[in-house]
Amino acid sequence: MHAALLQHIDDALNAALLHAELTPQLSDACRHALLGGGKRLRPLLVLASAQATGGPVESAFRAAAAIECVHAFSLVHDDLPALDNDLVRRGIPTVHAKYGEALAILAGDALLTIAFLSASSGSAPNPRVLSELSRATMRMINGQCFDTFGGFPEQFDAAARLDLVHHNKTGALIECACVLGGLSSNASASSLADLRSFGATLGLMFQIVDDVIDETQSTEHVGKATGKDREAGKLTYPVVHGLEESRAAVARLHDDARGALNRLETASIPGASTALLEAILKTCVSRTR
């Protein structure tokens, strides 16, 4: 269904890479990180949100490429030996496993820079896109830091800590993707608020679904009740709230996200369609089975 849009996203990413005039080594490493697969959830959300507010998807290509570059940057650096020390991602070697740590650090830096280069180029770059993107990136890095080092406010219990990590580490960029799509099609303040609400809700739902899958897949495949996150002592939604409440939370968030979509539909924006946002929501929720 999204095949054409996925091709547009790859084209936009290639254009962003070319525009950066990378050295041969950086070009190889960044291409490996960016074009080695991935669901393209965030750039698809940018394009879908542009469609949902009546803008041509073309207006959102640069923002879509930018947010995928931020996502790719975060994966390259999180995979580094000093952080998660992951050697394989999506079935292929991670950037540092293939190209060494030094180039992986520089490639992550380059991808983050390419994001801002992409979002600030073109005939009429929108400063609000850049402000949203930098704010969301900052939240993502803060979330990663809380997750790795703790340092939570003293009065935060486990549930509040988990919310803080989820809201920032994964939620910020997903929320941002929806807002960027709306900004690209000059959406009204009210539509932008609906998109932000949809994105924040989807982001949290996406993470809880991930936590549930980690928990239940371990149970089914490995024959024990604890997932790898639980083993690693990480806060997850099922660890803090239990599996039943996690599934109930997903159902509630799904309703909330549907509500935001309904408000966008009710606005009857000329040429707008929420079909792609609905399809993405459906895909995310169906992962829990």
Q: Which stretch binds its own copies (CB under 8 A): 38-46, 106-114, 227-235, 245-253?
A: 106-114
| 47 burial level (CB within 10 Å; 0-12, 13-18, 19+) | buried
193 binds its own copies (CB under 8 A): no
- Closest contact distance (angstroms) between CB of 158 and its own copies is 17
270 binds its own copies (CB under 8 A): no
What part of residues 48-77 is at the interface with its own copies (CB under 8 A)?
73, 77
233 binds its own copies (CB under 8 A): no
137 binds its own copies (CB under 8 A): yes
Q: Which is nearer to its own copies, 105 or 243 (CB)?
A: 105
Q: Which of 87, 110, 91 is nearest to 28 (CA)?
A: 110
15 binds its own copies (CB under 8 A): no
Spatial distance between the Cα atoms of 170 and 183, rounded to a whole number of angstroms: 21
# residues contacting its own copies (CB under 8 A): 47
- Which runs of E-coded beta strand occur in 109-169? none
Name beta bridge partners: 71.
Answer: none
Q: Which of 39, 68, 45 is nearest to 137 (CA)?
A: 68
CB-based contacts of 217, cutoff 8 Å, min separation 6 = 227
- Closest contact distance (angstroms) between CB of 105 and its own copies is 6
* C-alpha 274 chain-centroid distance: 19
Return the number of other C-beta atoms located less than 10 Å from residue 90's C-beta: 10
Q: Which is nearer to its own copies, 37 or 81 (CB)?
A: 81
Interacting residues toward its own copies by CB under 8 A: 20-26, 73, 77, 80, 82-83, 100-103, 105-106, 108-110, 112-114, 116-117, 119-121, 125-127, 130-131, 133-135, 137-138, 141-142, 144-146, 148-149, 151
